[in-house]
Structure 1
Amino acid sequence: MNGRVRPRVAVSSCLMGEPVRFNGGHSRDRFLSGELDPYVDWVRICPEMEIGLGTPRETLRLERSPDGPRLVTRKTGVDLTDAMTSLAIARGRGLDVDGYVFKSRSPSCGVHGVAVHAGDVAVERRGRGVFAARILDAHPLLPVEDEGRLNDALLRETFVERIFAHARLRALLESDWRARDLVAFHSRHKMQMLAHDPAVYREAGRVVAQAGLRSRGELAADYGRVFGTAFARKAGIGRHVNVLQHCMGMLSDSLDPIRRADLAEVIAAYQAGQVALSVPATLLRHHARGEAAEYLRDQTYFSPYPQELRLRNHVPV
């Protein structure tokens, strides 16, 4: 299952090259529409078009009010907040996706740093788009980013890792699964979860220990919550090093001193910011295969998404 399930990802339509921007153009993103496109199924959404604004159209902005930012047309001051909120609530209710990529700084779709105005003056730049805010309220654990932040190598890797993890769990829970299937799923994801949040990893283990004792609905809901919570925290260098050393310990008895020393040296080089995570991870996976260490070999930690995306090739800073 590792890397083979196709995530369903909602995306602002303009980022996929659709001419739905206010000026009749688009904001095609090369990574989304190029490198990532072969591996995901897109759910394209343009809330401005869906509330009937059309294109080209008057530009929008967030305007400060006592009840929170209002979405208004820039020149004529038409208030579109209620229409956009109603759409977001309806969309959020039926949204069944593994992630969402929003258009950055959009007064409808921006997730971070959207300008809020008082008259013609931007009085703050920490707002959130009206549509995006309601979607996030409805799905607080949904992997979400905007295309601007995906230019950062670590944020890009983290987002892609989350959508594939989310998709694997969705595929399991949509199947005719049994308690043993959830136990096996959790077993494959242990090292990956440990790299993100050790405390939640332990909580997930306690949930799985109840498999077979609780209803499938309750078990699925609780495991989905802790699984999503774990992956919502970025995996830092220190936690990666902990996992890498843990995996090396599992292989220690079957490796000769030279190979153990090589592994320790490569892990130390990653910790020092001298090599990318892909270097020690690939070496560990190679040894796991060679030593027929099935449990370690099958860990999603070593293949959290298709290898062709090469997202672990950046050197940490």
Structure 2
Amino acid sequence: MSSTTKPKIAISACLLGENVRFNGGHKQSLLCSQTLADYFDFVPLCPEVAIGLGIPREPIRLVGDPAHPQAVGTVHRELNVTQPLDDYGQQMASEHTDLCGYIFMQKSPSCGLERVKVYRDNGTPVDGGGRGIYAQAFCARHPNLPVEEDGRLNDPVLRENFLTRVFVYADWQQLLAEGLTRHRLLAFHSRYKYLLMAHSPAHYKSLGHLLGSMTKETHLELAACYFSDLMTGLSQCATRGTHTNVLQHISGYLKQVISADDKQEMQTVIGQYRQGIVPLVVPLTLLKHHFRQHPDRYIAQQAYLQPHPENLSLRNAI
């Protein structure tokens, strides 16, 4: 993304403090409304209000088959808003094609992504639950879009993973807008190689093989498959083990230019990170220090070193 463009993220309106809940209230997320608002353009959406349900209103819940539940009133079972919610999800998915992510309200029968309560006819909940009607319809149209629930964003690892994917998605959208060429696709992959290695070594290998078979004639048809697999790989949370592997790879570019003492310090700090003694930001800061003293063109363009704005401090707690 350009330095002046913020990635656009759709968000359940109640999470930004809008009084659109069934009880006339909200579920404001301070993380979203305060911390993240400086870095993203939020698009607030509330499907239940959009399809004509009032504020306040009778709550709805999911009933029946967890794979294909119905959204009905908790008091008046004849109130069935399944189709309107599905239709609105498809409509919003077709209208909002410039999104780079979506933050959904957890547990909502319209917006929840997973483990939303689904009830049997006798009133008992089904094990495992299901997905909200609107969320299901929206996500089906944008399978590669980074999506997350607000509650899960309180986990530092899940938060960093989601926002990393948002910025990668935004970068890909800009690449498509500029015009996808074989050279630009290879440059994009080169920039994200170490980030992908940290999230999924298997996808790192398979996508390398995929692009290795690419020609000028096949790059466009390979691009969609490439990006889908890339987002799948990045959706896997990196671990201390996989991060350590990448840190070791990157530190290898310094072995000819830093002193033996500096090498020992680097290995000590990477080891401390692997053991959980220090967060990821510590070895990364040391690496950046050495690369400022000894610049390397290949490492300088690696997104892994800074995949999101530094002031978000996303790697301070992982």
Give the TM bin, normalised by the shorter chain: over 0.9
AA aligned to 1:190 is K
Question: Are the counterparts in 2 of residues 117 and 124 from structure 1 also a CA contact under 8 Å?
Answer: no
Question: Are the counterparts in 2 of residues 3 and 303 from structure 1 also a CA contact under 8 Å?
Answer: no
Matches within 5 A, 1:1-317: 6-65=6-65, 68-77=68-77, 78-96=79-97, 97-118=99-120, 119-124=122-127, 126-209=129-212, 213-214=216-217, 217-315=220-318
Q: Which has the higher contact order (CA 8 A, sep 6+)?
A: 1
Q: Percent of counterpart pairs with the same letter?
A: 39
AA aligned to 2:75 is K
Question: Are the counterparts in 2 of residues 98 and 166 from structure 1 also a CA contact under 8 Å?
Answer: yes
Rounded to whole Å, the distance in 2 between the matches of 1:123 and 1:212 is 50
- Classify the secondary structure of the residue corresponding to 1:72: strand
How far residue 271 of structure 1 moved from its aligned partner, in angstroms, is 0.4
* Deviates further, 207-216 or 26-35: 207-216
- Classify the secondary structure of the residue corresponding to 1:15: helix
How many residue pairs match? The answer is 315
Provide TM-score, normalisation by structure 2.
0.92
Rounded to whole Å, the distance in 2 between the matches of 1:191 and 1:129 is 35
How far residue 165 of structure 1 moved from its aligned partner, in angstroms, is 1.0
Question: Are the counterparts in 2 of residues 84 and 130 from structure 1 also a CA contact under 8 Å?
Answer: yes
- Structure 2 residues not aligned, in runs of 5+: none
Rounded to whole Å, the distance in 1 between the matches of 2:67 and 2:292 is 59
Per-residue CA distance 1:210-251 (angstroms, 9 max, x = gap): 555225532431322222122121111111010000011121
How far residue 60 of structure 1 moved from its aligned partner, in angstroms, is 0.9
How far residue 193 of structure 1 moved from its aligned partner, in angstroms, is 1.0
AA aligned to 1:202 is K
Provide TM-score, normalisation by structure 1.
0.92
Rounded to whole Å, the distance in 1 between the matches of 2:273 and 2:267 is 10
Rounded to whole Å, the distance in 2 between the matches of 1:67 and 1:27 is 27
Question: Are the counterparts in 2 of residues 183 and 211 from structure 1 also a CA contact under 8 Å?
Answer: no
Change (3 A) 1:8 1:67: closer
Question: Are the counterparts in 1 of residues 113 and 149 from structure 2 also a CA contact under 8 Å?
Answer: yes
Q: CA RMSD in A?
A: 2.0
Per-residue CA distance 1:102-157 (angstroms, 9 max, x = gap): 00100111112211123544344522111112223333332111101111111111
Question: Are the counterparts in 1 of residues 192 and 302 from structure 2 also a CA contact under 8 Å?
Answer: yes
Change (3 A) 1:66 1:248: closer
Change (3 A) 1:3 1:226: farther
Rounded to whole Å, the distance in 1 between the matches of 2:181 and 2:158 is 34
* Deviates further, 102-111 or 68-77: 68-77
* Deviates further, 255-264 or 218-227: 218-227
Rounded to whole Å, the distance in 2 between the matches of 1:143 and 1:246 is 28
